Amino acid sequence: MNILFTGGTGLIGSAFIQRFAKQHTFTVLTRQPNKAVRILGSKVTTISRLDTLKNLDKFDAVINLAGEPIADKRWSASRKARLEQSRWNITSEVATLINRSSNPPAVFISGSAVGYYGRQGALPITENENSFTIHSEYSHELCRVWEETARISEHNTRLCIVRTGIVLAPKGGALARMVPPFTLGLGGPIGSGEQMMSWIHLDDMVNLLAYLLEHEQCRGNYNATAPNPVNNHEFSRTIAHVLRRPCMFKVPAFALRAVFGDMADLILTGQAALPARLQKEGFKFQYPTLEPALINVLKNDHKKS
């Protein structure tokens, strides 16, 4: 396939492109072409702006994962604007180009996040709208507009929206910020520890994108999460167990809010999102439970400890 990829230098995008570089041809939207080539290899084509394309007739598929990281900084007004523009604007441009094409891509896979649901406690959440009542907050609004923007193209292509959870990877992602306190023996749960964490191993994330790309029956919303979410207590205990470190120290909610403001709620609240549609449609997870997933991504540190 000839694939247009936005967010190709990110954690998920770079893993996908490196995995399938021999199988597919990639054009990557990036503001830093030299960096993209260093990360992804010289075979990728780079473009710096979507408006250099008149349509998407030459592409078989689009994977749209572009977006500023949501959980690394306080949500100031300017930060929110960057979060929104980096998602909504690119998605709008892609959808418009699809609608403008006389031979549009056969499939458009567009990013979202489990933050779409807002805080849900321990209630299991599937893609079925009858399984939840949305808690309206910033993460929901950010994802809602992002998804609605992608949907303006769904009458011209097969659209899959992936609501991604916490991606577990050997380098980068959430674990890069979560693990260091544990390696120092200072790790522990955050806030109450009862907040649910919907997670997914990077390999499963890459595999499910490929699955959606290749299976023509797949369309609509998908929770890109492992089938066994856990609360923060269990997540912390499992990291500590894998690293053979204690799990003694607790990060109080007020301390997190003092540093991150409203953004802290993204860490202090959560949802138990289940991949009901992926499983129903035949996708098999390589890492359905947390401990094997963490052993895999942390194995180098695990062996050294």
Residues of the chain with pLDDT under 50: 301-305
Q: Is 18 left (phi over 0), alpha (psi -120 to 50) or beta?
A: alpha
Q: What is the pLDDT of residue 62?
A: 98
d(CA 159, CA 88): 16
Q: CB-based contacts of 272: which residues, under 8 Å, 6+ apart?
A: 120, 122, 123, 124, 125, 196, 198, 229
232 backbone dihedrals φ, ψ, rounded to 5°: -65, -30
3 pairs with which residues across the strands? Answer: 26, 61
Q: What is the pLDDT of residue 135?
A: 86
Q: Is 64 left (phi over 0), alpha (psi -120 to 50) or beta?
A: beta
Residue showing tokens 């806030």: 191
Residue showing tokens 């306190």: 181
Q: What is the CATH number of the domain that holds 207?
A: 3.40.50.720
Quick one: three-class SS letters along 277-303? Answer: HHHHCCCCCCCCCHHHHHHHHCHHHHH
Asked if residues 260 and 151 have their Cβ atoms less than 8 Å apart, the reply is: no
Range of the domain at 54: 2-304
Q: What is the domain count for the chain?
A: 1
Nearest to 293 by CA among 175, 194, 120: 175
Pairing type for strands 196-197 and 230-231 reads antiparallel
